[in-house]
Structure formats: C-alpha cells, structure tokens
Amino acid sequence: MSVQIARRHFNIIEYYRMTEAGILSQGDRVELVDGEVIEMSPIGSRHAACVDRLNKLLNRLVEQDVIVRVQNPIILDDYSEPQPDISLLRFRHDFYAEGHPTPADVLLVVEVADSSTQVEREIKLSLYAQAMLPEVWLISLPDDTIERYSQPADGAYQVTQTLKRGEALISTVISNLNLDVAAILG
C-alpha cells in the first residue's frame, strides 16, 4: 500500500511573504521551482570561478542591447522563480528595477553544475523549456562539457549539442556570440 503525502505548493507572492515573516532570510540559498522552495547547492570555488570567467567573457562580447545578470531571479510563472547562474536579457533602461525579468525578457540562461548536473538536467531544463526560454547552456564541470539546448517545444528542448574543449560554443539566439569551450571551462 502506498502512502500519498500532501504537498503545499507556494506561489511567488507567498514565497516573498515567507521572507517578510522571517521564515526565510535574505541569505538563504533557495529558489522557487514549481511551487516548492528548493535549497540550492553550495557554490564551490570551481563553480564560482566558471561563473566569474563566463561573466567577464560575456560582458566583453555581447552588444549594448543585452544585460548580463549573475545569480539573480527570473519569474517564469506564478510558481517558479529560479536563479540561474547567468542570464542574458533584453536591455531595459531600468535594468529590471521595476520587476524581475520574465520569459519574454530572457535571451539565454546558463547553469553551471558541479555536484548538481543531474538535478539541472531533470528539473531546471524542463522548467526552462516549459517557459519557452529560447536557449540554455548547461556547463557540467564534472564532465568537462557544455550542453547547449535550443528550440523549446512541448515542454522539452528539441535540439541538444554537447561541446568539449577545442570546440566553439555558438549561440543560436545572440548573433556573433561565439565562445571557446576551453575559455569557459578554464
């Protein structure tokens, strides 16, 4: 006999109220995924270095009309507000001071995974595909690879490419965004 456990899903408003009430603190490393408050993996030195390296590379390469954001929220729907390692967003003069970006604002999302590669693949990619984010890069530090996902449809990415050192990572969304995989991996 199996036992069903009732789960309470939270929307974004309730999620923010948890912080206001002191249930969550500003320092908690959590994100809202499909109505559940998920604890994020700790950021190791290799992970941090990869994010910093990629941030520097992207800020040099992208046009003036793109904002590079590091580890900040994106509102995908009423029940999901992940914090990808890097987001490339359509430019807005207020830099999203009036509200976090939504799927229409997102050009590309990057997740760096050290110990959480499988979680990123199984949970985050599906979430991003359902929100129709046009392109996602998953940097798998243990595998020393970068996976590029594009063309979302029916809750999944239709095109996947795995790249290794010595290859070039070329965005399908941002013209002239061409990076050496080794430069990203370090």
The pTM of this model reads 0.91
- Strand duo 30-33 + 135-140: pairing: unpaired
- In angstroms, the CA 24 to CA 34 distance is 18
| DSSP per position, 121-136 | IIIIHHHHHHTT-SEE
Decide: 91 and 66 in contact? Cβ < 8 Å: yes
Kindly report the CATH number that applies to the domain delimited by 42-185: 3.90.1570.10
Q: Locate the domains of the chain by residue range.
A: 42-185
Nearest to 110 by CA among 44, 47, 180: 47
Segments of the chain with pLDDT less than 50:
none
Decide: 137 and 71 in contact? Cβ < 8 Å: no
- 3-state SS class at 67: strand
What confidence score (pLDDT) does residue 140 get? 95
| Alpha carbon 140 to chain centroid, angstroms | 13
By the 10 Å C-beta count (0-12 exposed, 13-18 middle, 19+ buried), 74 is classed as buried
Count of alpha carbons within 13 angstroms of residue 169, beta-carbon side: 29
What confidence score (pLDDT) does residue 1 get? 60
- In angstroms, the CA 31 to CA 29 distance is 7
